[in-house]
Amino acid sequence: MYYHDKRLQYPVRVETPDPLFARQLQQAIGGVEGEIRVCLQYFFQAWGARGPHTKYRDMLLHTATEEIGHIEMLATAVAMNLETAPLTLQESAAEANPVVNAVMGGERPRHVVEGMLQRHLLSTGLAAMPTNADGVPFDCSHVYASGNLAADMYANVTAEATGRTLAVRLYNAAHDPGMKDMLSFLVARDTMHQQQWLAAIEELGGAAALPIPNSFDQAMERQDFSYVFLGTDVTGAPPPEGRYTAGPSMDGKGQFSVLQNTPLGEVPVLGPAREGSGAQAEQIGKPAGR
């Protein structure tokens, strides 16, 4: 069960509305790096969590719920930045905002910018949408909830790292002091979330918990390939040396080495096409005994 407080988690202020920046903020809502993604990812990881480690389920629920607040903040920011957007197809977005005018005359085609603004008007009445910056709806294809707690924590570190990268880029693109202030808060929360998932990984054993899943008996895998870096340079030149080419493996269960990758299998030969499959006659084999 969830409760709602109509007050925002952090203040959202816009001194100079900027419809173009509203479009850019949409990426932080419905992009693959955005808040809808991490919100749903943490919820589904929590709802599917099994085992005695209930504190990690609780941690995921706390953070997933916080992410709802981040979506709310960004949606509010989008709506505030759209307050000077054009209200008709005849009204020029260039007249509504000089920044849009500059972009239309430069790096982005006019119809692209106007098209996004009109979607905001026609679909939401100048409010945020569950889409990325190009108006593509969020489709959950990047929500990762594997049922393996350690695997999910690593996925969460990646999600927060890409999310923080986007937030930093938006901060650098922002001109409004209120938007910079809001984004500085979101960047800080991304910092914490990266740290908390890494802390959970450490509690679960860190590198010693590798490989994931650690419940699979490694005696069942081809261990002669478990810690070998395979070079694939056509000339046979060795790969650049690194931590991953020599010395103890990260889990302490093997030694890194390097091997030039060579084919170990045969050239694949498939059976003939079947009657009625739509293949050419030359592809169809004769039935046995004929």
Residues in the annotated binding site for Ca(2+): 58, 236
Give the residue ranges of the annotated binding site for Mn(2+).
35, 67, 70, 160, 193
What distance in Å separates the CA atoms of residue 75 and residue 128, rounded to the nearest whole number?
A: 5
Cα dihedral angle (206, 208, 209, 213), rounded to 10 degrees? Answer: 130
Structure tokens at 57: 């389920």
Q: Are 231 and 261 in contact (CB under 8 A)?
A: yes
The conformation of residue 206, written as its DSSP 8-state character, comes to G
In terms of DSSP bridges, do strands 255-260 and 228-231 run parallel, antiparallel, or are they unpaired?
parallel
Per-residue b or e along 140-149, where b marks 16 or more CB atoms closer than 10 Å to that residue's CB? eebbbbeebb
Contact between 133 and 31 under an 8 Å Cβ cutoff? The reply is yes
**Which residue type sits at 11?**
P
